[in-house]
Structure 1
Amino acid sequence: MTVSDKTLILDARQVKQKIKRMAYEIYENHSKDRTVVIAGIDGQGYTLSKLLAKELEAISPIKTLLTKVHLNKTEPQQDTVYIDCDLKEVKKRVIVVVDDVLNTGRTLAYSLKPFLDVEVKCIEIAVLVNRSHSSFPILPKYTGYELATTIKDHVEVVLGKETAVFLK
Structure 2
Amino acid sequence: MTAEKSLILDADQVKQKIKRMAFEIYEHNFKEKNIVIAGIDGQGYVLAKLLAKQVESISPIEVKLVKINLDKLAPQESDITLDCDLKEVKKKTIVLVDDVLHTGRTFTYGMKPFLNIEVKKIDTAVLINRGHTLFPIYSLYTGYELSTTIKDHVEVKLSKDEMAVYLH
> What does 1:61-80 correspond to in 2, within 5 Å?
61-80=60-79
Deviation for aligned residue 1:54: 0.2
1:93 maps to: 92
TM (norm. structure 2) is: 0.97
**Aligned partner of residue 96 in structure 1, secondary structure:** strand
2:133 maps to: 134
CA distance in 2, matches of 1:75, 1:127: 21
Deviation for aligned residue 1:104: 0.3
> What does 1:1-168 correspond to in 2, within 5 Å?
5-160=4-159, 161-168=161-168
| Residue type at the aligned position of 2:126 | V
| Residue type at the aligned position of 1:96 | V
Percentage of pairs with the same residue? 65
| Residue type at the aligned position of 2:89 | V
Query: For the aligned residues, what is the CA RMSD?
Result: 1.1
**Aligned partner of residue 76 in structure 2, secondary structure:** coil
Deviations 1:115-139 (A, max 9, x none): 0011000001000000000000010
TM (norm. structure 1) is: 0.97
Deviations 1:2-45 (A, max 9, x none): 7x820000000000000000000010010010111000000000
CA distance in 1, matches of 2:117, 2:89: 8
Which runs of 5 or more structure 2 residues have no equivalent in the other structure? none
CA distance in 1, matches of 2:113, 2:94: 11
Which runs of 5 or more structure 1 residues have no equivalent in the other structure? none
CA distance in 2, matches of 1:26, 1:159: 20
Deviations 1:69-112 (A, max 9, x none): 00010010101111111111111100000000000000110000
| Residue type at the aligned position of 1:146 | E
CA distance in 1, matches of 2:122, 2:103: 18
CA distance in 1, matches of 2:129, 2:138: 9
Task: Say how many residue pairs are matched.
Answer: 167
CA distance in 2, matches of 1:14, 1:36: 26
| Residue type at the aligned position of 1:165 | V
CA distance in 1, matches of 2:57, 2:116: 31
| Residue type at the aligned position of 2:133 | S
